Structure 1
Amino acid sequence: MIQRLHTTERLSKIVKYNGVAYFCGQVGDGDTVAAQTTDCLARVDDLLTQVGSNRENILQAIIWVADIDDVAEMNAVWNAWIPQGHAPARACSEAKLGRAELKVEIIITAACP
């Protein structure tokens, strides 16, 4: 059975199916790439908790940065956040994000053991 959580007319923040949780794109507040990444990952932590999962169960991360030159700054926050030995499959690319002030957006897929 497919379970949809925090659903609006446009999207569900979480879709669970067969023990896997798919999160919608997460963005964060702040003026810097590091601040937005930190806030974004705090939101991911909250969603993981809601589905009974954690960082060690992340299967995949898709990350967009508004400026590819900011990847090192984003990676510094990411590397400190992800548990050593539990790095997910990951892609990172430059993209024009939904609002001019956004610098980072992250989509997570996680197992729900």
Structure 2
Amino acid sequence: MTGTLRKIGGSSRFSAIAVHNGQVHLAGQVSQLKDGDIAVQSRDVLAKVDALLAEAGCGRDDLISVQIWLSDMADYAGMNAVWDEWVSSVTPPTRVCVEARMAQPHYRIEVLAIAAER
């Protein structure tokens, strides 16, 4: 293996952050807010991404790529409204957004991010 591998936080099942070869990989982030609509859940999830990036020593402006899964593409416009606010102060990363069945019925969005290490 080339480079140093560092893992931060998480549980016995997965690491919250893995840093390797100049990249910060975040675990997928979901909202535990069961009553939240897509805007509420999107803000919650993106705040979690911000916190993990900060823990790894970087921020939104270091994002390389973001993958977004929605439980229902009818939430696409609502999620994009929150996303557009969130990335408004930086050059946005590459992004993909697809519909997927989620692990829990109350999850409306899951976000996975990769950033450049500072």
Stretches of structure 1 lacking an aligned partner (at least 5 in a row): none
Q: Which amino acid aligns with 2:25?
A: Y
Between the two proteins, the alignment pairs up a number of residues equal to 113
> Partner of 1:103 in structure 2?
108
Question: After the TM superposition, which segments of 4 or more aligned residues of structure 1 sit over 3 Å from their partners?
Answer: none
| CA deviations over 1:2-50 (Å, ceiling 9, x no partner) | 0011142211000001221000000122520000000001111100111
Contact 1:58 1:111 (8 Å CA) reproduced: yes
Distance in 2 between residues matched to 1:51 and 1:9, nearest whole Å: 19
Distance in 1 between residues matched to 2:10 and 2:75, nearest whole Å: 32
Distance in 2 between residues matched to 1:40 and 1:77, nearest whole Å: 11
> Partner of 1:112 in structure 2?
117
SS at match of 2:25: strand
Normalised TM-score (structure 1):
0.95
CA RMSD of aligned residues (A): 1.2
| Structure 1 segment 1-113 matched on structure 2, within 5 A | 1-28=4-31, 29=33, 30-113=35-118
Normalised TM-score (structure 2):
0.91
Identity among equivalent pairs (%):
34
Contact 2:60 2:90 (8 Å CA) reproduced: no
Contact 1:25 1:107 (8 Å CA) reproduced: yes
Distance verdict in 2 for CA 1:33–1:73, change over 3 Å? same
Distance in 2 between residues matched to 1:43 and 1:85, nearest whole Å: 18
